[in-house]
Structure 1
Amino acid sequence: MPGVTKEQIARAKEWDLLSYLQTYEPQELQKCGGREYRTMTHDSLKISNGKWNWHSRGIGGRTALDYLVKVRGMDFVKAVETLCGERGAAVRMPSDIPHKEKPAKPFLLPPENRCGTAAVSYLLGRGIDGEVISQCIRKGILYESRNYHNCVFVGKDSVGKARYACLRGIYGTFKNDVDGSDKRYSFSLPSADEDSPFVAVAESPIDALSVASLLKMQGEDWTKNHYLSLGGTAPRALLTFLHDHPAVVCISLCLDNDKAGILGMEKIREAVREDAELSRRIRVIVDNPPPLVCGKDYNELLKQKIAARYEAENREKTQAGRVCGMEK
């Protein structure tokens, strides 16, 4: 291959991902049980038994070379040179390298806009029920940011302290977590009953609120469930939520109906099975993605249901008008 020799490629492939990250980016590793690790940048990227797998993207490999190319998007030649030390990046032994971890950024909620009508209008436009929105605002888990008028979805710990927040732009496609957020405490809307045994789990706050809105739309008591957003597909937030809510025994997995969502539901089941306390307590885990014909996520399903109801109501009005006209 132009630029690198077969010998260099062979040397580069000697680096497994765990050794590479332990050597050069230890701050990127987080232990998640036994001999398994996950990366801080991609919490669904797991490293175990000499292999790595980025579950949310459905890709994986064995070597650091695979990782640099498939995950970091590095050119193959540059990745080989990096691992072989031709550019000075990976030539020293681990004991020679001083590690300086970056200080964690403090978690600070964005300033609130006192008039949050733009965020409310945006969510209403996405089909979220007004009562569901009001409940979130009253509980202090939803507001509009002052500077950019984003929706701010707040996650709190078991004592009510804000530990996480994600932003959703109301004028475009902007999405981001606030710096310093702890994804173990992702956004959740609690049940009216503290001891509710039910939790509905979605990937995003808007999908979680869409599930609540659909239940209300169907005439069901939507307040009997807890609603949790994972902030993705990783099980971390759900495991923390379940340990903080010991009354929960029934889980409805309302993740997206796509490859990442289906794989995410499998990983959640696996994580619950591997947890000694939860494996004994949890009685029911139901895979409940939206029907694929209605879109891949629950907000798409909600908007289709609203449109169908609106169309049916208009048909009824039109038919009623024709009947009245005939009677005259």
Structure 2
Amino acid sequence: MPGVTKEQIARAKEWDLLSYLQAFEPQELRKCGGREYRTVTHDSLKISNGKWNWHSRGIGGRTALDYLVKVRGMDFVSAVETLCGERGAAVWTPSEVPRREKPEKPFTLPQENRCGTAAVSYLLGRGIDAEVISQCIREGILYESRGYHNCVFVGKDSKGKARYACLRGIYGTFKNDVDGSDKRYSFSLPSAEKDSPYVAVTESPIDALSVASLLKMQGEDWTKNHYLSLGGTAPRALLGFLHDHPAVNCISLCLDNDRAGLSGMEKIREALKEDAELSRRVRVVVDNPPPDFGGKDYNELLQKTAARYAAAKREKTKPGCGMEK
């Protein structure tokens, strides 16, 4: 490595982030329970058990060297020299430290189409139950956009403010997040019970609504659960949701039955263990991908299940079925 020796690199890696900040930037630390800390500059960057994780960005590490490179944006050589004291460790000016995480573009919800029948028809065609769709519309988390007639799935923060939205085309395969969306506040359908301990976690909003529809189809009370879409497989939306819903302690991981989904469930379990508060609070975490016969995701399982139910119903209503002359 040009500019630094192996010995310098080894010395730099001896600094864990907590020790580094305690020694040189104590004003950056904020205790948030037990032995866990957050940083002032990045509220979602947590330090616990010798590791740090910047949950809103999905990155982390163990050492202060990782932090200086991945978070502060320093080049590797400068970071090593800083930690070894050659460049004056932790001599920062306020202008060098960004004080707030800002989206690249401002977040604005797409304009709503007053008549949203196309989006509703599309979701019904995907097997989503009409009552589930109506509940989403009442909650203000689902509507049809005016320009391209996409389904708009809205994510809100704990105060009810829209902070995230994803689009799903109803005439093709278009999928996209709205510019400026904050995935910490991904789409979620709340339980009818405010203090419900249950949440079903999926990769997409349609899969979340599919889980609810399947439960209703099977005669279960689908309203007792929260339903959360991660907008992918990263754990940060779930971590934020759990901190905003302290009553939740039972998690059903309904991610896709493929390599990305199965890997995502492992990462979620690791993230929960690394969070001091959640590792103590969460009692049950169940891996619950759709069964192999049900397809890759829960919407495929819903459509196959609906087809079986319909076929069984037709058999029962055939003329003369089960009757003696």
TM norm structure 2: 0.71
Q: What is the Cα deviation at residue 104 of structure 1?
A: 2.2
Q: Which residue of 1 aligns with 2:148?
A: 148
**1:150–1:170 CA contact under 8 A, matched in 2:** yes
**1:30–1:39 CA contact under 8 A, matched in 2:** no
Q: Which residue of 2 aligns with 1:223?
A: 223
Q: Which residue of 2 aligns with 1:73?
A: none
Q: Which residue of 2 aligns with 1:192?
A: 192
Q: What is the Cα deviation at residue 160 of structure 1?
A: 0.3
Q: Which residue of 1 aligns with 2:30?
A: none
Where does 1:18-167 land on structure 2 (aligned, <5 Å)? 32-34=45-47, 46=59, 48=61, 104-167=104-167
Q: Which residue of 2 aligns with 1:77?
A: none
Q: Which residue of 2 aligns with 1:62?
A: none
Q: Deviations over 1:149-204 (max 9, x none)?
A: 00000000001000000000000000000000000000000000000000000000
Q: What is the Cα deviation at residue 105 of structure 1?
A: 0.6
What is the SS of the residue equivalent to 1:315?
A: helix
Q: What is the Cα deviation at residue 227 of structure 1?
A: 0.3
Aligned mates of 2:131, 2:209 — CA distance in 1: 11
Aligned mates of 2:277, 2:54 — CA distance in 1: 22
Q: Which residue of 2 aligns with 1:241?
A: 241
**1:199–1:228 CA contact under 8 A, matched in 2:** yes
CA 1:275 to 1:322, structure 2 compared with 1: closer, same or farther past 3 Å?
A: closer
Q: What is the Cα deviation at residue 38 of structure 1?
A: 6.7
The unaligned stretches of length 5 or more in structure 1 are: 1-9, 12-28, 51-97
Which amino acid in the other structure matches residue 183 of structure 1?
K
Aligned mates of 1:323, 1:234 — CA distance in 2: 52
What is the SS of the residue equivalent to 1:238?
A: helix
Q: Does 1:265 align with 2:265?
A: yes
Which amino acid in the other structure matches residue 127 of structure 2?
G
Aligned mates of 2:284, 2:266 — CA distance in 1: 14
Aligned mates of 2:43, 2:194 — CA distance in 1: 32
Aligned mates of 1:239, 1:115 — CA distance in 2: 35
Q: Which residue of 2 aligns with 1:63?
A: none
Q: Which residue of 1 aligns with 2:317?
A: 317
Q: What percent of counterpart residues are identical?
A: 73
**1:253–1:265 CA contact under 8 A, matched in 2:** yes
Q: Which residue of 1 aligns with 2:279?
A: 279
Aligned mates of 2:240, 2:186 — CA distance in 1: 9
Q: Which residue of 2 aligns with 1:82?
A: none
Q: What is the Cα deviation at residue 315 of structure 1?
A: 1.6
Which amino acid in the other structure matches residue 179 of structure 2?
D
Q: Which residue of 1 aligns with 2:291?
A: 291
CA 1:159 to 1:306, structure 2 compared with 1: closer, same or farther past 3 Å?
A: same
Q: Does 1:306 align with 2:306?
A: yes
Q: What is the Cα deviation at residue 232 of structure 1?
A: 0.3
Q: Does 1:232 align with 2:245?
A: no
Q: What is the Cα deviation at residue 321 of structure 1?
A: 3.6
Aligned mates of 1:277, 1:206 — CA distance in 2: 30
Q: What is the Cα deviation at residue 114 of structure 1?
A: 0.2
**2:103–2:180 CA contact under 8 A, matched in 1:** no
Which amino acid in the other structure matches residue 48 of structure 1?
G
Q: Name whichever of 102-111 and 154-163 sits farther off.
A: 102-111
Which amino acid in the other structure matches residue 139 of structure 1?
E
Aligned mates of 1:287, 1:165 — CA distance in 2: 26
CA 1:303 to 1:279, structure 2 compared with 1: closer, same or farther past 3 Å?
A: same
CA 1:110 to 1:276, structure 2 compared with 1: closer, same or farther past 3 Å?
A: same
Over aligned residues, Cα RMSD in angstroms?
3.1
Which amino acid in the other structure matches residue 250 of structure 2?
C
> Which stretches of structure 1, 4 residues or longer, exceed 4 Å deviation after superposition?
29-32, 34-40, 100-103
**1:254–1:287 CA contact under 8 A, matched in 2:** yes
**1:30–1:37 CA contact under 8 A, matched in 2:** no
What is the SS of the residue equivalent to 1:234?
A: coil
CA 1:124 to 1:277, structure 2 compared with 1: closer, same or farther past 3 Å?
A: same
Q: Which residue of 1 aligns with 2:180?
A: 180
